[in-house]
């Protein structure tokens, strides 16, 4: 199973003065994190498009391209690209360029995104969101399918036998559909034959099991080849050497993040009790020591059958050194645990099948 990280490039906070660090430093910190993730054997790093001072990863493809030159194997993707407020042609050109520079390691995840700052920023309205999203996804997939492209829509001038270059090394870019759990999105991904990425950020992670089943059944109904039916999971998380220390430290940063998000969106600041509910057992927050996190990934895998899980660790101004240590533990400790557990499960299944 693939493991990885995703980030919105959280800025640092000075522990003494309490002032926020620079957004420029956040870009360099993120590149450093991607390099380490590659070095410790992680499979995937996603940069989520985000447009706030506290999380300024607005130009993910540029960060990833910079990281591409100092990494070897790790896959580099968006998590997610806010497709509704971007031009699919430009998105494709940027990630196809990243794909060339990284020798075929680029991916796109198209989604709604975690916040709506990009709408006023790029002059889009939220009112026609669904229509905008469908149309842009359609164009993005068309560009990926073949070249030159001829296409017509309502929200953008038509393309007439236009070349969108460069072309990806292996012909196509992996394009995932990112969703927060609306059943219609699972249906859409299934019918379109796209791999699906679930953002599971609160509550019980296992409640996504029926959605994954809906996605798979819709895909099979549409005749999608088994190899193209893939599920990944993105969730908040943090790993430290000691489980209690991990929860004590990271809960403060998570609560800080959710408090500021809640002020904008009108929900209450979460309590520590609420955090503990989600950070244990089947909860959506994967916070603990390497063994606990490995066990929880495997437990969720049994319900969702996902092939990749990746974690947002740097939130609420988590110190960079803690972020890096968590990445190291995910690669050097959690990944071997998960691989071993799943091998045991597989060989047991094989033994059962043989009999």
172 binding other proteins? (CB under 8 A): no
Tell which one of 127, 225, 353, 354 touches other proteins (CB under 8 A). Answer: 127
* Cβ atoms of residues 245 and 217 within 8 Å: no
Among the listed ranges 8-16, 127-135, 224-232, 235-243, the one in contact with other proteins (CB under 8 A) is 127-135
Strands 44-47 and 231-239, sheet pairing = unpaired
Among the listed ranges 83-91, 208-216, 234-242, 289-297, the one in contact with other proteins (CB under 8 A) is 208-216
Q: How many residues of this chain bind other proteins (CB under 8 A)?
A: 30
Count of all residues that appear for the chain in the document: 355
Q: Please tell me the chain's helix, strand, coil percentages from 3-state DSSP, rounded to the nearest 5.
A: 50, 15, 35
Tell which one of 183, 245, 340, 345 touches other proteins (CB under 8 A). Answer: 183
What whole-number distance in Å separates Cα of residue 35 and Cα of residue 47? 13
Indicate if the alpha-carbon torsion angle 200, 203, 206, 211 is positive or negative: negative
What's the closest the beta carbon of residue 266 comes to other proteins, in angstroms?
Answer: 8
Q: Write out the binding residues for other proteins, residues 80-119 only, by CB under 8 A.
A: 116
Which residue, 167 or 206, has its beta carbon nearer to other proteins? 206
265 binding other proteins? (CB under 8 A): yes
53 binding other proteins? (CB under 8 A): no
223 binding other proteins? (CB under 8 A): no
Tell which one of 32, 129, 138, 256 touches other proteins (CB under 8 A). Answer: 129
Joined tokens for residue 217: 């059944």
Alpha helices in the chain (DSSP H): 23-39, 60-68, 88-101, 118-121, 129-145, 183-192, 209-221, 243-265, 272-278, 290-304, 320-329, 335-354
What whole-number distance in Å separates Cα of residue 137 and Cα of residue 102? 24
Tell which one of 55, 76, 187, 231 touches other proteins (CB under 8 A). Answer: 187
7 binding other proteins? (CB under 8 A): no
Which residues are near other proteins by CB under 8 A?
116, 125-129, 181-184, 187, 202-204, 207, 210-211, 213-214, 217-218, 221, 264-265, 267-268, 271, 273-274, 277
């Amino acid at each position: 199973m693939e493991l990885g990280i995703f980030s919105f490039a959280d800025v640092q906070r000075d522990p003494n003065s309490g002032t926020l660090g620079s957004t420029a430093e956040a870009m360099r910190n993120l590149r450093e994190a991607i390099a380490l993730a590659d070095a410790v054997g992680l499979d995937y790093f996603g940069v989520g498009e985000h447009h706030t001072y506290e999380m300024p990863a607005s130009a993910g493809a540029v960060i990833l391209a910079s990281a591409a030159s100092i990494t070897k194997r790790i896959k580099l993707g968006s998590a997610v690209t806010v497709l509704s407020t971007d031009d699919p042609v430009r998105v494709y050109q940027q990630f196809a360029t990243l794909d060339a520079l990284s020798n075929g390691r680029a991916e796109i995840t198209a989604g709604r995104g975690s916040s709506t700052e990009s709408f006023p920023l790029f002059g889009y309205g939220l009112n026609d969101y669904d229509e905008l999203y469908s149309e842009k996804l359609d164009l993005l997939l068309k560009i990926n399918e073949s070249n030159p492209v001829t296409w017509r829509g309502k929200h953008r001038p038509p393309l007439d036998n236009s070349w969108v270059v460069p072309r990806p090394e292996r012909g196509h870019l992996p394009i995932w559909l990112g969703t927060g759990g609306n059943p219609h999105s699972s249906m859409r991904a299934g019918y379109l034959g796209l791999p699906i990425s679930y953002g599971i950020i609160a509550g019980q992670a296992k409640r996504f099991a029926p959605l994954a089943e809906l996605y798979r059944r819709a895909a099979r109904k549409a005749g999608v080849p088994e190899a193209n039916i893939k599920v990944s999971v993105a969730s908040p998380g943090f790993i430290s050497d000691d489980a209690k220390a991990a929860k004590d430290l990271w809960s403060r940063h998570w609560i800080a993040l959710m408090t500021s998000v809640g002020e904008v969106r009108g929900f209450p600041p979460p309590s520590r009790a609420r955090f503990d509910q989600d950070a244990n057992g089947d909860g959506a927050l994967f916070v603990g020591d390497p063994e606990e996190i490995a066990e929880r990934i495997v437990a969720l895998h049994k319900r969702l059958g996902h092939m990749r899980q990746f974690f947002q660790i740097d939130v609420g101004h988590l110190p960079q050194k803690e972020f890096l240590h968590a990445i190291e533990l995910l690669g050097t400790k959690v990944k071997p645990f998960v691989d071993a557990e799943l091998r045991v499960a597989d060989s047991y299944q094989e033994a059962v099948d043989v009999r």
